[in-house]
Amino acid sequence: MLALVEATSDGENGKGGIESSTSLPSSFNDLVKDMTSSGQDIKAFAFKTKAMIVKMEKLVESARQRESIFWHLASHGVPKGIHCLSLKLAEEYAENAAARSRLPPPQYVSRLTDPSFHHVVLLTDNVLAASVVVSSTIKNSSIPERLVFHIVTDKKTYTAMHAWFAVNSVNLAVLEVRGLHQFDWSHEVNIGIKEMIEIHRLICRHKFDRMKRETLANEYENDKDLQYLRPSCASLLNHLRIYIPELFPDLNKIIFLDDDTVVQHDLSSLWELDLNGKVVGAAFDSGCGDGCCPGRKYKDYFNFTSPVISSNLDYDRCGWLYGMNVFDLQAWRKTNITATYHHWLKLSLNSGFELWNPGALPPSLIAFEGHVHWIEPSWHIAGLGYRSVMNVTESILENVAVVHFSGPAKPWLEIGSPEIRSLWSRHVNFSNEYIRKCGIMG
């Protein structure tokens, strides 16, 4: 025992002559044989034991790092089944007139701009995800006939998205699908969108280049850094939410839902919510109880070593959740929120992209400053796409209105917890012929 204590103490002080890992026995039994055959004393045995433990600790840490890398890499791809689904639906759109039928039917077009209806907006290029958001919202609505869905997608996904909802029409609710190529924006808005995406792309690229320059040991020290390398980092649809007033000039109020959300309870009362003149209604982190927001404070988004950040923002302030929000578009149009957003993007550009971590939320936290109305945490829980999700109790998951799989482990991937993923997969229509043909499984 004294020899082991001495070996540990000397090892911590850089003494003791621990041998290189290449000369160490591969197992404890080999160590005993080696020590007895060569007649070495207990002190040598203790030092070799200590060296083997240190070697094992390094191997375990290396395995953890590699597992983290592979886990995040698995979040970057599009599953074969979802890719197949888009191809099959695009083919259906080309060959089947029913798949090209108008959305919504002509008799319901007037509802698209009628303020008496409940308007829900999705920006997505994932057909399967959009179908889950729509079906879960309708299923849990007390008045589904008042729902109007506005799905905005990119040009490559438009035909598949349109075909899905044309062939699988929603019950009671009204739905439209529009591609970005169908919008007729002003020259000023076009320039602003291009500038926005270019700066976000440069921020993501800067983060990637910095990680490459660092050593492997430091590069993956923070598990969250790897999420910034995902394709959504510079996705137009991911960042376009700051232009929602321009996307829907005829709407006054909307509910915005990310495509990685699932609606579990009726959202109707959100329409009666008084935002007290604010632009956005948002929840704060609801997974840890009242008064806490681990991983969601401003210090986790922004670089407070920069004077530009430290002189303008509060280090310990809790950030609000993006992904299930109520927007008063009338109030928004009276503000300079979008202009402020662009102003800070340019500051980031001029500061060498060191002001915040990549993503849509950090500049939005600044731009919406003073325009956010707090809503009950029971409306929205986020972070179900992270491995720490098991810390969330079952009762919270059951009672919250919208569960949000923000993070790398999207529910259509296999890397998340099966129990959590089932909250999403229960809304997938596995009897659908396209779902079956593409082998999509829960």
Residue-range domain boundaries for the chain: 44-76, 77-438
Phi, psi of 6 (to 5 degrees): -65, -40
**293 or 263, which is more confident:** 263
Please report which residue ranges of 214-358 form alpha helices under DSSP H. 216-219, 236-239, 244-247, 298-301, 307-310, 329-333, 337-350
* Span 81-87, average pLDDT: 95
* Span 290-314, average pLDDT: 85
Distance CA 263, CA 180 (A): 25
Distance CA 37, CA 33 (A): 6
Please report which residue ranges of 214-310 form alpha helices under DSSP H. 216-219, 236-239, 244-247, 298-301, 307-310
pLDDT exceeds cutoff 90 at 103: yes
Per DSSP, the three-state class of 344 is helix
pLDDT at 26: 78
What's the pLDDT tens digit per position in 350-402?
999 989 988 889 999 999 999 999 999 899 999 898 876 666 777 788 899 99
pLDDT at 275: 95
pLDDT at 105: 95
Distance CA 203, CA 190 (A): 20
Query: Number of helices and strands (H, E) in the chain?
Result: 18, 10
pLDDT at 226: 65
What's the pLDDT tens digit per position in 148-199?
999 999 999 999 999 999 999 898 999 999 999 999 999 999 999 999 999 9
pLDDT at 48: 81
**pTM of the full predicted structure?**
0.86
pLDDT at 85: 96
What's the pLDDT tens digit per position in 336-357?
999 999 999 999 999 999 899 8
At the fourth CATH level, which superfamily is domain 77-438? Answer: Spore Coat Polysaccharide Biosynthesis Protein SpsA; Chain A (3.90.550.10)
pLDDT at 168: 94
What's the pLDDT tens digit per position in 227-241?
666 777 778 999 999
What's the pLDDT tens digit per position in 1-47?
777 777 666 654 444 444 555 578 878 888 888 878 877 778 888 87
- Tell me the pLDDT of the chain averaged across its residues: 87
pLDDT at 206: 85
What's the pLDDT tens digit per position in 89-99?
999 999 999 99
pLDDT at 229: 65
Strand-pair partners of 373: 281
C-alpha torsion 254→259→262→263, nearest 10 = 10
Spatial contact of 437 and 88, defined as CB atoms under 8 Å apart:
yes
